[in-house]
């Protein structure tokens, strides 16, 4: 440090001003490059998030506009209604594998809704809310739900950005399961 002081005091005033100016320009330049890098990375993350959100919306629309309820030509409909509570819990466990305990998907409440009946097919509905969840986890969770059974699909999906953490979302989804209507025999 003493050598730098000696060198600096040994140069002319004009050279000292040039050295100070170049040092300030270097600091400002590094700050601008760092800020640009951070903003570029943030923009990239936001665009990836927007793509995930649009993919989820398209998936929800596809589910809503899917085949009619009575179209059973491609899937064998079981006699017994799927256990949606168990199925959602299993999907949450599978989608959360590999995450720390505090990062696992928690399903605080599930609400059974009235489903429709068309012909000999009965629809069972369950609504659930997920709070403060990252989009990547939402995608894994939705994939796990639909992988478990051919007669269980995501019927509705609503997403809102979490106000406290911009990287996370609040999700409401309705899952539907199909079964055959069993006629009760009269005695």
Torsion angle, CA of 23/28/32/35, rounded to 10 degrees? 100
User: Are the C-beta atoms of residues 141 and 87 closer than 8 Å to each other?
Assistant: no
Please state, in angstroms and rounded to a whole number, the distance separating the CA atoms of residues 114 and 122: 10
In the chain, where do the E strands start and end? 110-113, 117-118, 121-134, 152-161, 168-180
Going residue by residue through the chain (187 aa), what tens digit of pLDDT does each one get? Answer: 889 888 888 898 999 899 999 999 999 999 999 999 999 988 888 887 777 777 777 666 666 665 554 454 566 777 787 888 888 899 888 888 877 777 788 888 888 888 888 888 888 899 999 888 888 888 888 888 888 887 888 888 888 888 888 778 888 999 988 888 776 555 4
Please state, in angstroms and rounded to a whole number, the distance separating the CA atoms of residues 126 and 177: 9
pTM summary value: 0.60
Domain residue ranges in the chain: 1-66, 67-180
> Which CATH superfamily does the domain covering 67-180 fall into?
Ribosomal protein S6/Translation elongation factor EF1B (3.30.70.60)
């Amino acid at each position: 440090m003493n050598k730098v002081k000696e060198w600096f005091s040994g140069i002319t005033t004009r050279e000292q001003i040039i050295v100070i100016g170049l040092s300030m320009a270097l600091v400002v330049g590094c700050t601008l490059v760092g800020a640009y890098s951070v903003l570029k990375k943030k923009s990239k993350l936001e665009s990836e998030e927007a793509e995930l959100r649009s993919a989820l919306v398209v998936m929800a629309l596809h589910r809503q506009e899917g085949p009619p309820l009575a179209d059973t030509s491609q899937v064998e409909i079981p006699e017994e209604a799927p256990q949606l509570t168990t199925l959602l819990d299993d999907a949450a466990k599978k989608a959360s594998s590999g995450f720390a305990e505090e990062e696992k998907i928690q399903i605080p409440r599930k609400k059974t809704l009235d489903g429709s009946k068309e012909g000999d097919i009965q629809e069972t509905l369950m609504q659930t809310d997920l709070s403060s969840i990252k989009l990547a986890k939402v995608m894994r969770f939705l994939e796990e739900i639909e992988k478990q059974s051919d007669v269980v699909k995501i019927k509705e999906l609503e997403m809102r950005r979490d106000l406290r953490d911009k990287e996370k979302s609040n999700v409401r989804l309705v899952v539907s399961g199909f079964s055959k209507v069993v006629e009760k025999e009269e005695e």
